[in-house]
Structure 1
Amino acid sequence: MSIELNATLREDQGKGASRRLRHTNQFPAVVYGSGKEPVSITLLQKDVKHKLPDESFYSQVLDLKIDGKSENVLIRDIQHHPYKLEVMHMDFIRVDMNKVVHVYSQLHFSGEDVSPGAKTEDGVINHVITEVEVVCLPKDIPEFIAVDLSEMHVGDIIHLSDLKLPEGVEVLALKLGEEHDTAVVGMHIRKVVEEVEDEAPEAPDAPASEGDEAAEEGGDSE
């Protein structure tokens, strides 16, 4: 089930108009692509704010209703407020449901704690990438791609070609050739860093002053 967003057409444009929108808990956005003219729209903060923590929001096809008329879109860009959970601006790109799209899908890693490498070989996981660009029809866009680490030993590496992909989904890099089959995650032995305390050298005895030598000589003469 696609995520729905409601929007209205926006006529006023420019920094001043955008500032006024934000003062009313709205924000500007634009929709473009599919050979159609770009359309400026307005969305409510409350309609978007609670969706921001959901990572699938950024990669799934959205049902954007502009004054009641539906458009299938993907989020192309989003500008967040520097310190509030609010949106400053969004770019949407129109999607043809019958044509493949390129999207980034998050990688979800699991099983590290039960892997032989972690349990008995003092291994530690090194995540090389956490997302991957895939090619598929809009209906096949995965919410995420699961990566199972439960069988990993020290020295093992999982490459792009090892990923278990949903049907109809391909990794873009692999379509470019075997030389693009890069590492996703590896396991290596934990490095133990020994902290060595530097021992301060003992200070040499200070040479006796002339006054001290004279006092010693005087003492000997008594």
Structure 2
Amino acid sequence: MFRIHRFALAKSFHLRFFSPSAAALIEEPAIEAAPLTYLEGLPKPGPVETILAIPRSTSGKSIAAKERKAGRVPSILFEQEDGQHGGNKRLISVQSNHVRNLVNKLGRSFFLSRLFKLEVRPEFESDEIIEEVRVLPRLIHLHSITDIPINGTFIRAPSTALLKVDVPLVFTGEDVSPGLRKGSYLNIIKRTVKFLCPADIIPPYIEVDLSELDVGQKLVMGDLKVHPALQLIQSEEQPVVKIMGARVSDQRKSK
């Protein structure tokens, strides 16, 4: 089992809390530290993909409807510190088909835990770049029937940022789990876990190894193997997955 290692944010890293809901600045002087990097044996993201955007001058229901009709997704690019209440906020629109393809390819939860390069241009066909910034998708609303993106929110993600991320879980080792091989079943309690992540090492997902779990055993959030610089926001004792005994219906079938 692996336990999550907490870290002293204010002492070890000169990072700032970047969240659209609540933010705080660390007022200590800058501390020179080695750049954070992904560790061997832990999941690493693939190449950073680019999302093109164009600026919008106004917002509102009628403007948003026109954007969607034109094949664009009305979105907002927030500054790091409590962007919803001010700061460097930019109204943008992104290409609907491109975002839809990314969400379909990655999966919604994986899309929301992945960094992208956002290029804001006067027009999509233009070579001029107004702003080029690394971003984390914060929200993406999809149509309930068509899955077409309705609106989106992005947050700037420089290296100095600490971002709250719901990291998706990927379960492995089901084929060799002693409990599952005995006919028990897998009770998945959590499919994402919220961490406070330095922007440079946001994991694309977290692997949950089931290979040693027997009947009645479980894994909790504190058992997850992650980079020591990630801070778990939820309780370490909250269960993630458990191997349950055979269902009553399965027991009846075996008689």
Q: TM-score, normalised by structure 1?
A: 0.78
Higher strand share: 1
TM-align CA RMSD: 1.9
Q: State the distance in 2 between where 1:191 and 1:78 align.
A: 37
Q: Is residue 206 of structure 2 the alignment partner of residue 145 of structure 1? A: yes
> How far did residue 64 of structure 1 move?
1.0
One-letter amino acid matched to 1:133: K
Q: Tell me what 1:108 maps to.
A: 170
- What is the aligned counterpart of 1:22 among 47, 65, 68? 68
Q: Tell me what 1:203 maps to.
A: none
1:47-196 equivalences in 2 (<5 Å): 47-53=98-104, 54-55=106-107, 56-67=110-121, 68=129, 69-120=131-182, 122-174=183-235, 180-193=236-249
Q: State the distance in 1 between where 2:89 and 2:77 align.
A: 5
> How far did residue 167 of structure 1 move?
4.8
Provide Cα deviations, 1:5-34, integer angstroms capped at 9, x if missing partner: 111111243222222222211121111123
Matched-pair contact (CA < 8 Å) for 2:137–2:154: yes
Between the aligned residues of both structures, percent identity stands at 25
Q: State the distance in 2 between where 1:34 and 1:138 align.
A: 11
Matched-pair contact (CA < 8 Å) for 2:80–2:161: no
Aligned partner of residue 94 in structure 2, secondary structure? strand
- What is the aligned counterpart of 1:33 among 71, 79, 97? 79
Aligned partner of residue 200 in structure 2, secondary structure? helix
User: Which of the pair has more CA radius of gyration?
Assistant: 1
Aligned partner of residue 103 in structure 2, secondary structure? coil
Provide Cα deviations, 1:71-109, integer angstroms capped at 9, x if missing partner: 222112111122223111111122232122110111111
One-letter amino acid matched to 2:197: C
Provide Cα deviations, 1:128-159, integer angstroms capped at 9, x if missing partner: 11110112211111111001111111121111
> How far did residue 182 of structure 1 move?
1.2
Q: Runs ≥4 in structure 1, deviation > 3 angstroms?
A: none
One-letter amino acid matched to 2:136: L
Q: State the distance in 2 between where 1:20 and 1:125 align.
A: 46
- What is the aligned counterpart of 1:45 among 89, 93, 96? 96
Q: Tell me what 1:216 maps to.
A: none
> How far did residue 171 of structure 1 move?
2.0
Aligned partner of residue 248 in structure 2, secondary structure? coil
Aligned partner of residue 74 in structure 1, secondary structure? strand
Structure 1: state its 5+ residue gaps: 175-179, 196-222
